[in-house]
Chain A
Amino acid sequence: MAELTMVESLNKALHEAFSTDERVVLLGEDVAKTGGVFRVTAGLLNEYGGERVIDTPLSEAGIVGSAVGLSLYGLLPVVEIQFDGFVYPALEQIIVHVARYGWRTNGECPANMVIRIPFGGGVRAPELHSDSPEALLVHTPGLKVVCPTTPSDARAMLLAAIAHPDPVIFMEPKRIYRAGRQEVPDDMPFDLTTTNGAASSLLSTARVARTGDDLVIFAYGATVPLSAEAADKLQADGRGSARVIDLRSLYPLDVDAIVKHSVECGRAMVVHEAPRTAGLGAEVSSLIHERAMLDLEAPVGRVTGFDVPFPQFANEDDYLPSVERITRGAEKVLDF
């Protein structure tokens, strides 16, 4: 078992998928020769050749649109959208076709593909390289939307996503791509031609990232370690112990876990980088209020990005939820 970063773990998963199922193909901008701008796809071209590891024209709609046809003819496309803000040209193909193909074909031809999107800010990148577009995709019926936070989850969830019969939007929190190493198992979790493996449950269940009893913080992606850090600070300050839940599955939400942890802690909040209005936090908050109202000691809190375009990076630390903002938000819920 090796200690890997998330990038290395995703790379390992892709190598495993390519070596076990020849239907798997990879499409994207600069994914083959360069190995992707983040090197997630490094080494695949040499190993599996240019017919399966494909540098495409600069055309997200063309990539996703072609992938619909590839899928229709029996291949398993893994698509890389180079940066979050580049997915917008592909949204028509994703919303109009990828998400609807199974429904429109009586379940015979779901557009099963994985669309990987490195997302989020904090890396001092140019405009449209730091967006969090997940709510647009969560709001599109027919898609599964997931987001791993640990290297180990990243591998298992990517393999599960490739094996999954539905199209999966795979949000990769690029800020923590190389944030730390974790032991990642070598065993193949399951046969890619089935969905029965243990890893497939990761695509629909949340994970306890930190234990605690006084408050539960729901987060995903790069805000999970930030929330854990905030929880440590709250504890050190004697403000109480906060539980942190890594949602992992953004659609469908793990409603059972959301309700259970909220009931157990009695106080809850949500953290994400995406703008607040109609963001995922609104949905999580609504679920908690609908199903656990009488167990709550306080209204559900939210610490999110603002309803503005993601700023130029000189201001991104002003925009992004920080440990301090999360701690302040938690104190408001605790003090209510």
Chain B
Amino acid sequence: MGLSEPLRIIGDGGDLPDCQVPDGLGEKELLELYRWLIILRTFDERAVMLQRQGRVGTYPLYWGEEGTTAGALYACEDSDWVFPSYRQNSVGILRGLPVATVLGWVRGYGGPAGFYNPRDYRLGPICVPIATHLPHATGVAWAAKIKGDRTASLAWFGDGATSEGDFHEGLNFASVFRTATVFFCTNNQWAISTPVTRQMATRTVAEKAAAYGIPGIRIDGFDPLACWKATKDALERGRNDEGPTLIEAFCYRLKPHGTADDPSLYRDETEAQKWMHLEPVARMGGFLRRLSILDDDQDDELRREAKEMIAEGVRGLESVEQPGPEVMFDHVYASDNPWTFIEGLEEVNSVARKPEVAPPQGPTPPSTGDAEPLPEGE
């Protein structure tokens, strides 16, 4: 599968030519989207370091897929609801969610140290089970339609998610009830060790859209502008009551599935190197330089700001105390706690509490990116 087929706007600075910047993206917008990419990249690299240091738990990397998250989100209105899988774990920080909350979640914290109010950010909870958040995205846009709002919704998921029943149920309901929902599939060709050829016998994810009578758009998933453009168009169709769209952002998982994964057990890692020149951060940086709207000083400044933003989040994380046992019980019910909770709390409070156990320090994965070592205490 060549890259000439999917929608692509940014070239690779070599044989692949650049295309016209889509309408709606001026210099300011392009720089802002680039800033988002830098923030996501910085978070991801820092999170991997924190895991190596035993300061957060197992962490699912997204290095190389920042464009699918930032590009799609940038196309959304602020009032549109987005539903992340764990691969978009940090997307909330682009909508004002504290970095420390996301890191708290990765550190295994519940309650306000790791959870948030979805309505504050129009952001579903980080969804761990595969594809189960797709019907939720459908439901939100459906409710908006019933209420007469223009709110749309978007859900991110991977190629493996297309094998789940909830993928079908989400898309089927959305198409039958014509909800303004964007189903954004990041096809990175790997579900931990399972290649995409074990997920589906179809050639593409996009062609599955035919089963729902909706558009299926295939784009270069390493191209943030293609992600933006396809999402923007899909949202417009949705708001015009033309129903949902399935987007397949075709790319390659450049890094391990997570910090506990060792891809050398199941794939030839030289394959990842063949795709590396397309990774979205350097690619968009090069594009902006070719357009003369970014120079090295600006780039350095954006990276410095992002590092400070994430560092502040790390400091925030370190300042949070391990949640007490009451967070296990808090808010399981919105109504009064059942009597079993009162007895449970009494029991747990009647014994001495063990000190917080540091998350297991994972084995250093073989290819976790080029993050700088993190100074102790930062």
User: Which residues of A does B touch, CB under 8 Å?
Assistant: 25, 51-52, 56-57, 59, 61-62, 64-75, 89, 92-93, 96-97, 101-110, 112, 141-142, 144, 164-166, 195, 251-252, 255
Contact = CB atoms under 8 A, between A and B. Distances in A.
B144 to A, nearest CB: 6
Given A104-B125, A106-B116, A142-B332, A61 B135 contact: yes
B132 A97 contact: yes
A72 B116 contact: no
Given A57-B172, A62-B170, A141-B332, A69 B116 contact: no
6 contacts: A52-B146, A65-B173, A66-B142, A69-B143, A72-B81, A73-B143
B334 A105 contact: no
Contact of B339 (A101, A102, A112, A252): A252
B134 A65 contact: yes
A141 B118 CA distance: 21
A71 to B, nearest CB: 8
Contacts of A96: 129, 132
A109 B117 contact: yes
Interface in B327-349: 330-335, 338-340
B132 A59 contact: no
Contact of B334 (A68, A89, A93, A102): A102
Given A52-B146, A62-B169, A72-B143, 7 more contacts: A59-B169, A65-B169, A68-B139, A73-B81, A73-B139, A106-B111, A108-B120
B331 A102 contact: yes
B16 interface: no
Nearest to B120: A108
A231 B327 CA distance: 45
B139 A72 contact: yes
B138 interface: yes
A93 B354 CA distance: 34
Given A69-B139, A72-B139, A108-B119, A62 B332 contact: no
B139 A70 contact: yes
Contacts of B153: 69
B334 A112 contact: yes
B166 interface: yes
B115 A65 contact: no
A125 B205 CA distance: 41
B166 A61 contact: yes
Nearest to A254: B339
A112 to B, nearest CB: 7
Given A51-B146, A59-B169, A112-B334, A97 B136 contact: yes
B117 A106 contact: yes
Interface of B: 81, 110-112, 115-120, 124-125, 129, 132, 134-144, 146-147, 151, 153, 165-166, 169-170, 172-173, 176, 330-335, 338-340
A331 to B, nearest CB: 33
B146 A25 contact: yes
A64 B132 CA distance: 11
Contacts of B81: 72-73
A101 B332 CA distance: 8
The 8 closest A-B pairs by CB, nearest first: A69-B139, A65-B135, A107-B331, A73-B143, A62-B169, A252-B338, A165-B334, A108-B117
Contacts of B339: 252, 255
A288 to B, nearest CB: 15
Contacts of B137: 69
Given A73-B140, A106-B115, A106-B116, A57 B176 contact: yes
B334 A107 contact: yes
A96 B115 CA distance: 16
B81 to A, nearest CB: 8
A114 B138 CA distance: 19
Contacts of A51: 146
Q: Which of B110, B136, B165, B170 has the most CB of A within 10 A?
A: B136
Given A72-B118, A106-B112, A92 B132 contact: yes
B139 A92 contact: no
A102 B115 CA distance: 10
A251 B332 CA distance: 13
Contact of A74 (B125, B134, B147, B169): B147
A148 to B, nearest CB: 18
Nearest to B176: A57
A57 B175 CA distance: 11
Contact of A68 (B136, B147, B333, B338): B136
Nearest to B138: A66
A165 B337 CA distance: 12
Nearest to A256: B339
Nearest to A107: B331
Contact of A67 (B139, B151, B333): B139
Given A96-B129, A165-B334, A59 B173 contact: yes
Contact of B338 (A62, A104, A251): A251
A92 B170 CA distance: 14
